[in-house]
Amino acid sequence: MVRQIIWSRRAQEDRKYIFSYWNKRNKSKVYSKKLNRLFIKAVELLAIHPNMGRVSNKENIRIKVVKDYLLIYEFTTKELRILSVFDTRQNPNKLKNILK
């Protein structure tokens, strides 16, 4: 069963920030586009197989690793909700705040 994919406002902002960072750093959008394709492929796969992500400490929230990023999500029988995109090179305490 394919679930409807919903990107939370936070996840959308996370993606924009990540892409903006790479665009400025590389002075090109090539890497951002590649990273976006990886995120989209991972989310599409999760919409079909949501249990493939790692279980988090918080009930009903799972984590999928995509390169140096964590896709934090929850799902129901009809929806896959992406809660956040977390850069693993950040302070790990930020992740604790997201998973509260």
* E strand segments, the chain: 4-7, 54-55, 61-66, 69-75, 79-87
Residue with the two structure tokens 């995509």: 66
Q: Are 94 and 17 in contact (CB under 8 A)?
A: no
Enter the tokens of residue 40. 């989209």
Q: Which CATH superfamily is domain 4-98 in?
A: RelE-like (3.30.2310.20)
pLDDT tens track, the chain, 100 positions: 789 999 999 999 999 999 999 999 999 999 999 999 999 999 999 999 999 999 988 888 999 999 999 999 999 999 999 999 999 988 888 877 777 6
* pLDDT in the model for residue 72: 96
Strands 79-87 and 4-7: parallel
Res 91: pLDDT: 83
pLDDT for 17: 96
CA distance 56 to 71: 12
| Pairing state between β 4-7 and 54-55 | unpaired
* Per-residue confidence (pLDDT) for residue 2, from 0 to 100: 85
Q: Where are the domains of the chain?
A: 4-98
Give the pTM: 0.91
Q: Identify whether the C-beta of residue 40 lies closer than 8 Å to the C-beta of residue 7.
A: no
